[in-house]
Amino acid sequence: MSQILYQLDESTLDFPPIDCALTEPNGLLALGGDLSSARLLRAYSQGIFPWFSEDDPLMWWSPDPRAIIDIEQLRINRTLAKSIRKVPYTITLNQDFIQVIQLCADAPFRTDETWILDDMQAAYINLHQQGHAHSIEIWHTDEHNHKELVGGLYGVAINGFFSGESMFYKQSNASKFALIALGQLLKSNNINFIDCQLLNPFLEDMGAKEISRNDFIQRQQRAITKIMPDYFWQSRTLTLT
């Protein structure tokens, strides 16, 4: 059966139904539109996210299967558990979103071209300023009391639904600390999963798994109805437990 790739209408924020997404490439749903905050929020509320490279058109995705982490199944090995008990870093929430997204775009370990282009950075910074995108920062302070951002992650939250976008690390385990901190933060308000969008070896090692798009949407829609307290995303220092 032939499949149709939709071109978004500039005059509306509407997306096609997610079951119209292509099977190859997996999850490609539509082209075009823009990265306005209104369109991004409409997309995330339906389990859709943008992902494209520099020479590509703006592309929107809803893959099947979908990668998630059940927070109760977040995998912490013995070595990492020892590091957590020593807590070699300071962990913060929403204290330097801009530097986090810039470092995610230019992560030291990245070998391919970044998809976090300048337009994407600007769009998510706008979302952050409106209270919809959030960052976890991992800081290291050296013997000279110099503080450096050595790891972190960012993503989009709509009520109780959190969709992780990217992470980076400069020092051992720093991105793992960020993910654990996010998991504990969400769990503190009875949120039980993190949307990881697409599975990769790092996420799989941390306990991520794939579920069907239908199962994901059911869980996502339940999470999105959970209203978070006003203080929940306020900038502060986080403590791992």
**Cβ distance 151 to 109 under 8 Å?**
no
Tell me how crowded residue 29 is: count the other CB atoms within 10 A of its CB. Answer: 25
**Cβ distance 145 to 204 under 8 Å?**
no
Q: What is the rounded average pLDDT of the residues 12-35?
A: 96
- The proportion of the chain whose per-residue pLDDT surpasses 90, expressed as a percent, equals 84
Q: What is the pLDDT of residues 91-107, one digit of tens each?
A: 999 999 999 999 999 86
Residue 1 predicted with pLDDT over 60? no
Residue 108 predicted with pLDDT over 80? no
- Residue indicated by tokens 């599975």: 199
> For position 2, what pLDDT does the model report?
57
> For position 87, what pLDDT does the model report?
76
pTM: 0.95
How far, in Å, CA of 211 to CA of 67, rounded?
Answer: 6
Domains annotated on the chain, with CATH: 6-64 (3.30.70.3550), 67-238 (3.40.630.70)
